[in-house]
């Protein structure tokens, strides 16, 4: 693992109108590392990802890319740095085939005409190296299953050889087998030296593939855990704030009363 | 429902699942799903695929073909001249006006939108040509260019209201339909009709025939040869790149089918007055628009927008620009169709809005 993180957030804050969505958030991701970003609904996971992807520019704080501070103010900036984002709602066109979707917006051309042959060859190569199994690269996305679409969406993010891949709940709508395939793919991304940020609500997935777990609670950091040495209960209590809730407050009050 | 769904696959697929579980790691080398049905090569494959589709209710273009055959049979029964070379040739020429408009509408339909205004826009186009060339005596070429540019501008206006302002295409083009019809009546003035010189440039659009027998046959030869060469070189390139390609036998079969159709059509045209200029232009437009839609990055963008606007936007496609350009194309082809319509009836008049009335 390299010493300088690929991406580091230092004291990032983001405000929408009257809502302080993120407050002084810190996050580090190294090359060849999968960092799971977890938290309850509304904890600010998606907002944080969108600030990194350039959808919402940050208000305060610093984003460091490979050690130096950078400005990410629009999606293009993030793409140029080498950040690829796979959104929760898949950004694929149902009516276009797999090859067309992989190369959508960056079609290869030959004498001004689409170079279908080269695109198909490279698409097959990419899918093979990622061990993605799809009936044919020439069938429309509409006829693929949810899991296959998800793998295509992830493969699409790999085309630009990104350094950091952000996956927003990649297994949310998937079955058992498809979830395993996507998790396999996440591990392959890590093995190829990509840094991965994985957003998930599923603790089993997080425990399965992540190296570190960063917990967000109400827009603030609530601990970064090493997956190998942390129990699921500890992570969940960090997510739900189990150390500070009605039950613990009552217990604390009772303890005081008894004193 | 949910218990039903989970219980059936479990009961059935349990042994298979157990087999599958360790499989993915070694099987990961093959990128092909085992469930994919690979079509047999060659003619037998076509036939079995065709039978399977018919049984599955996937009729494709068969209903259209059957419908055409039924229509032809009925009209031939009513009038034995229907299938004569002269009538077929005339129908082919009459088709061009609506055909041109349809080409433009296809672009809009691919976006998942609708353009109701093409009929009115074609009427405006005919009126512009008539007013400029007949009433004001301006060069007919200039008048034609003005009409086509006018159609494109009208399309840009529709596209602007749809893509920039955000009004539904249905509403925009419906009001366009009414507005441009009124505009056409205004242009035509109190008489409501302006006759065109049938020997003029616009008139010739539907009356000119390449009477030389070689023209129709030559076009057929060129078309068949071009089709074969492009399929063949494409297949060779695919083979060299190691991606699936059509076998030579299939290319030959397709070329032969095209050849039969092309030469039958050429023979029919030659029995009458020869290859009509209108049909030649229409075929060129068809080939060109097919090329743009399927072989260029622009066409891919049009398809992408029809599939998912959000995905296209995230892929960096300029949604507004593509939408406006597509409506401009629809307007342009509506204007071109209007020229052929005006040529057919040798006049620009209030009825010159074929798609609306």
pLDDT tens string, chain B, 357 residues long: the values are 333 433 333 333 344 433 443 333 333 334 455 555 555 565 677 778 778 888 887 777 889 999 999 999 999 999 999 999 999 999 999 999 999 999 999 999 999 999 999 999 999 999 999 999 988 989 999 999 999 999 999 999 999 999 999 999 999 999 999 999 999 999 988 878 888 888 888 889 999 999 898 999 999 999 999 999 999 999 999 888 888 888 888 899 999 999 999 999 999 999 999 999 999 999 999 999 999 999 999 999 999 999 988 888 878 788 999 999 999 999 999 999 999 999 988 888 876 555 444
Residues B181 and B153 in one domain: yes
Check residue B89 and give its pLDDT. Answer: 94
Check residue A244 and give its pLDDT. Answer: 63
Q: Two tokens at A4?
A: 């300088």
Question: Cβ A104–B311 below 8 Å, yes or no?
Answer: yes
Check residue B29 and give its pLDDT. Answer: 39
Is residue A193 within 8 Å of A29, Cβ to Cβ?
A: no
CB contact set of A211 (below 8 Å; sequence gap of 6+)? A33, A34, A35, A190, A226, A227, A228
Chain A / chain B CB contacts < 8 angstroms? 93
Give the minimum alpha-carbon distance from B317 to chain A in angstroms, rounded to a whole number.
6
Going by pLDDT thresholds of 50, 70 and 90, the confidence category of residue A90 is low
- Cα gap B206→B339, rounded to integer Å: 10
> By residue range, what is the domain housing residue B182?
93-211+273-349
- Cα gap B153→B134, rounded to integer Å: 23
Is residue B269 within 8 Å of B279, Cβ to Cβ?
A: yes
- Cα gap A175→A159, rounded to integer Å: 26
Residues B40 and B176 in one domain: no
Residues B55 and B145 in one domain: no
Length of chain B: 357
**What pLDDT digit, counting tens, does each position of A197-232 carry?**
999 888 888 888 899 999 888 888 888 888 888 888
A88 touches chain B (CB under 8 A): no
Residues B51 and B166 in one domain: no
Picking from B304, B340, B311, the residue whose alpha carbon sits closest to that of residue B148 is B340
Give the minimum alpha-carbon distance from B23 to chain A in angstroms, rounded to a whole number.
12
Picking from B333, B288, B345, B342, the residue whose alpha carbon sits closest to that of residue B108 is B333
Q: Which residues pair with A196 in a beta bridge?
A: A34, A165
Residues B114 and B161 in one domain: yes
Check pLDDT > 60 for residue A79.
Answer: yes
Average pLDDT over residues A232-246: 76
Task: Count the Cβ atoms, other than its own, within 10 Å of residue B146.
Answer: 18
Check pLDDT > 60 for residue A124.
Answer: yes
Domain end residue (candidates: B24, B54, B78): B78
- Cα gap B307→B62, rounded to integer Å: 25
Check pLDDT > 60 for residue A161.
Answer: yes
Check residue B26 and give its pLDDT. Answer: 38
* Closest alpha carbon within chain B to A116: B295
- Cα gap B92→B275, rounded to integer Å: 10
Average pLDDT over residues A8-24: 89
Check residue B39 and give its pLDDT. Answer: 59
- Cα gap B79→B22, rounded to integer Å: 71
Residues B331 and B207 in one domain: yes
Question: Cβ B300–A104 below 8 Å, yes or no?
Answer: yes
Task: Collect all residues of chain A within an 8 Å Cβ-Cβ radius of residue B303.
Answer: 93, 95-96, 100
Average pLDDT over residues A59-88: 86
A191 touches chain B (CB under 8 A): no
Domain end residue (candidates: B27, B47, B78): B78
Residues B147 and B104 in one domain: yes
Q: Is the dihedral of CA B311, B315, B317, B318 positive or negative?
A: positive
Give the minimum alpha-carbon distance from A67 to chain B in angstroms, rounded to a whole number.
28
Q: Two tokens at B133?
A: 């060339």
Residues B291 and B335 in one domain: yes
Residues B177 and B293 in one domain: yes
Q: Which residues pair with A194 in a beta bridge?
A: none
In a domain, B355, yes or no: no
Give the minimum alpha-carbon distance from B54 to chain A in angstroms, rounded to a whole number.
19
Check residue B76 and give its pLDDT. Answer: 94
Is residue A162 within 8 Å of A82, Cβ to Cβ?
A: yes
In a domain, B254, yes or no: no
In a domain, B232, yes or no: no
Check pLDDT > 60 for residue A240.
Answer: yes
Residues B61 and B170 in one domain: no
Question: Cβ A132–B31 below 8 Å, yes or no?
Answer: yes
Picking from A205, A183, A245, A176, the residue whose alpha carbon sits closest to that of residue A37 is A205
- Cα gap A219→B74, rounded to integer Å: 74
Question: Cβ B303–A132 below 8 Å, yes or no?
Answer: no
Average pLDDT over residues A101-130: 87
Give the number of domains in chain B. 2
User: What are the φ and ψ backbone dihedral angles of A25, each rounded to 5 degrees?
Assistant: -85, 135
In a domain, B322, yes or no: yes
Place domain A7-92+161-258 in its CATH homologous superfamily: P-loop containing nucleotide triphosphate hydrolases (3.40.50.300)
In a domain, B54, yes or no: yes
Is residue B140 within 8 Å of B200, Cβ to Cβ?
A: yes
A252 touches chain B (CB under 8 A): no
Check residue A259 and give its pLDDT. Answer: 65
């Amino acid at each position: 693992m390299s010493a300088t993180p690929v991406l580091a957030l230092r004291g990032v804050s983001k405000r929408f109108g009257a809502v302080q969505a993120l407050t002084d958030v810190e996050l580090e991701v190294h090359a060849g590392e999968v960092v799971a970003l977890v938290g309850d609904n509304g904890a600010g996971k998606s907002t944080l990802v969108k600030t990194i992807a350039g959808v919402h520019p940050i208000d305060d704080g610093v984003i460091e890319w490979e050690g130096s501070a950078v400005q990410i103010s629009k999606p293009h900036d993030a793409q140029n740095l080498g950040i690829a984002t796979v959104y929760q709602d898949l950004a694929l066109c149902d009516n276009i085939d797999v090859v067309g979707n992989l190369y959508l917006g960056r079609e290869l051309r030959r004498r001004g005409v689409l170079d279908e042959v080269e695109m198909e060859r490279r698409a097959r190569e990419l899918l093979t190296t990622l061990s993605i199994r799809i009936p044919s690269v020439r069938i429309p996305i509409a006829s693929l299953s949810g899991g296959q679409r998800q793998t295509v969406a992830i493969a699409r993010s790999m085309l630009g050889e990104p350094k950091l891949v952000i996956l927003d709940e990649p297994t949310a709508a998937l079955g058992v087998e498809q979830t395993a395939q996507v998790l396999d793919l996440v591990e392959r991304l890590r093995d190829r030296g990509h840094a991965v940020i994985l957003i998930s609500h599923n603790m089993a997935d997080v425990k399965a593939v992540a190296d570190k777990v960063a917990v967000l609670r109400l827009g603030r950091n609530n601990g970064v855990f090493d997956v190998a040495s942390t129990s699921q209960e500890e992570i969940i209590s960090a997510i739900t704030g189990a150390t500070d809730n009605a039950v613990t407050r009552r217990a604390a009050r009772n303890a005081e009363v008894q004193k | 429902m949910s218990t039903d769904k989970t219980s059936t696959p479990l009961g059935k697929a349990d042994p298979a699942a157990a087999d599958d579980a360790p499989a993915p790691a070694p099987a990961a080398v093959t990128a092909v799903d085992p469930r994919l049905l690979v079509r047999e090569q060659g003619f037998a494959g076509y036939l079995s695929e065709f039978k399977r589709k018919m049984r599955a209710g996937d009729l494709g273009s068969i209903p259209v073909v059957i419908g055409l055959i039924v229509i032809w049979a009925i009209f031939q029964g009513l009038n034995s001249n229907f299938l004569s070379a002269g009538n077929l040739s005339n129908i082919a020429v009459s088709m061009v006006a609506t055909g041109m408009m349809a080409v433009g509408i296809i672009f809009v339909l691919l976006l998942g939108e609708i353009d109701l205004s093409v009929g009115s826009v074609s009427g405006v186009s005919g009126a512009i040509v008539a007013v400029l060339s007949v009433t004001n005596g301006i060069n007919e070429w200039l008048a034609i260019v003005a009409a086509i540019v006018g159609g494109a501008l009208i399309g840009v206006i529709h596209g602007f209201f749809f893509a920039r302002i955000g009004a539904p295409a249905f509403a925009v083009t419906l009001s366009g339909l009414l507005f441009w019809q009124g505009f056409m009546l205004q242009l035509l003035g109190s008489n409501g009709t302006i006759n065109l010189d049938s020997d003029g440039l616009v008139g010739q659009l539907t009356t000119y025939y390449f009477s030389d027998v070689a023209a129709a046959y030559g076009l057929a030869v060129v078309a068949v040869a071009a089709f074969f060469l492009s399929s063949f070189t494409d297949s060779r390139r695919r083979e060299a790149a190691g991606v699936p390609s059509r076998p030579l036998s299939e290319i030959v079969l397709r070329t032969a089918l095209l050849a039969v159709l092309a030469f039958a059509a050429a023979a029919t045209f030659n029995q009458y007055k020869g290859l009509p200029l209108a049909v030649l232009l229409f075929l060129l437009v068809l080939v060109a628009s097919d090329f743009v839609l399927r072989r260029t990055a622009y066409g891919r963008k049009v398809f992408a927008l029809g599939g998912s606007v959000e995905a296209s936007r995230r892929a960096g496609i300029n949604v507004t620009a593509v939408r406006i350009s597509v409506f401009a194309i629809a307007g342009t082809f509506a204007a071109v169709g209007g020229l052929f319509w005006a040529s057919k009836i040798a006049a620009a008049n209030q009825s010159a809005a074929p798609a609306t009335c």
